[in-house]
Structure 1
Amino acid sequence: MGKTGGRGDFEWVYTDQPHTSRRKEILAKYPEIKSLMGPDPQLKWVVSGMVLTQLLACYLVHNLSWKWIFFWAYAFGGCINHSLTLAIHDISHNVAFGNKLAKWNRWFAMWANLPIGLPYSASFKKYHIDHHRYLGGDQLDVDIPTDLEGWFFCTPARKVLWLFLQPFFYALRPLVVNPKPICQIEIQNAVVQLTVDLIIYHLWGLKPIVYLIAGSILCMGLHPISGHFIAEHYMFLKGHETYSYYGPLNLITFNVGYHMEHHDFPSIPGSKLPQVKQIAAEYYDSLPQHTSWIRVLWDFVFDDSIGPYARVKRVYKLSKQE
Structure 2
Amino acid sequence: MSKKKSFSWSEQCEPHKLRTKEIISQHPEIRQLIGKNPYTFLVILLCVGIQIGMSWILYDESWWFIFPCAYLVGAFACHTLFICIHECSHNLIFKNRTLNTISGIIANLPLVFPSSVSFQKYHLKHHAFQGIEELDADMPSEWEARLVNNSSLGKALWLLFYPIVQALRLHRMSKEIKMFDKWLVVNYLVQLVFVAFIFYFLKWKAIVYLLASFFFSVGLHPLGARWIQEHFLTHDEEQETKSYYGVLNTVNLNVGYHNEHHDFPSIPWNNLPKIKKIAGQHYTSLGYHSSYTKLLFRFLFDRRLSLYSRVARNNRGKTKMS
Write the distance in 2 (CA, Å) between the matches of 1:160 and 1:59: 31
Of 192, 199, 210, which aligns to 2:197?
A: 199
TM-score (norm. length: structure 2): 0.93
1:169 and 2:165 are equivalent in the alignment: yes
Write the distance in 1 (CA, Å) between the matches of 2:118 and 2:82: 12
Gaps of 5+ in 1: none
Matched residues, number: 313
SS in 2 for 1:256: coil
**What displacement does 1:304 show?**
2.2
SS in 2 for 1:168: helix
SS in 1 for 2:248: helix
1:87-133 deviation digits (Å, cap 9, x = unpaired)? 111121111102xx000000011111111111110011111011001
State the superposition RMSD in angstroms: 1.4
Matched to 1:51, the amino acid is: V
Matched with 1:257 is 256
1:24-71 deviation digits (Å, cap 9, x = unpaired)? 111111111111111013211122111112111121111112221222
Write the distance in 2 (CA, Å) between the matches of 1:68 and 1:30: 51
Matched to 2:301, the amino acid is: F
1:62 and 2:88 are equivalent in the alignment: no
Gaps of 5+ in 2: 318-322
Matched with 1:127 is 122
Where has structure 1 moved over 3 Å in runs of 4 or more?
176-181
Matched with 1:37 is 34
Matched with 2:298 is 299
Write the distance in 2 (CA, Å) between the matches of 1:215 and 1:263: 27
Write the distance in 2 (CA, Å) between the matches of 1:264 and 1:271: 15
Q: What are the residue-to-residue correspondences of 1:158-307 with 2, within 5 Å? A: 158-178=154-174, 180-236=178-234, 237-307=236-306
**What displacement does 1:218 show?**
2.4
**What displacement does 1:317 show?**
4.6
Asked if 2 retains the 8 angstrom alpha-carbon contact of 1:78 and 1:212, the reply is: no
SS in 2 for 1:310: coil
SS in 2 for 1:287: coil
Of 65, 72, 96, which aligns to 1:75?
A: 72
**What displacement does 1:78 show?**
2.1
Matched to 2:5, the amino acid is: G
Asked if 1 retains the 8 angstrom alpha-carbon contact of 2:133 and 2:140, the reply is: no
**What displacement does 1:177 show?**
5.0
**What displacement does 1:183 show?**
2.0
Matched with 1:88 is 85
SS in 2 for 1:7: coil
Asked if 2 retains the 8 angstrom alpha-carbon contact of 1:138 and 1:316, the reply is: no
**What displacement does 1:178 show?**
4.3
Asked if 1 retains the 8 angstrom alpha-carbon contact of 2:133 and 2:141, the reply is: no
Matched to 2:117, the amino acid is: A
Asked if 2 retains the 8 angstrom alpha-carbon contact of 1:250 and 1:257, the reply is: yes
Matched with 2:320 is none
**What displacement does 1:135 show?**
0.6
Asked if 1 retains the 8 angstrom alpha-carbon contact of 2:129 and 2:316, the reply is: no
Q: What are the residue-to-residue correspondences of 1:86-125 with 2, within 5 Å? A: 86-98=83-95, 101-125=96-120
Write the distance in 1 (CA, Å) between the matches of 2:208 and 2:299: 30
Matched to 1:29, the amino acid is: Q
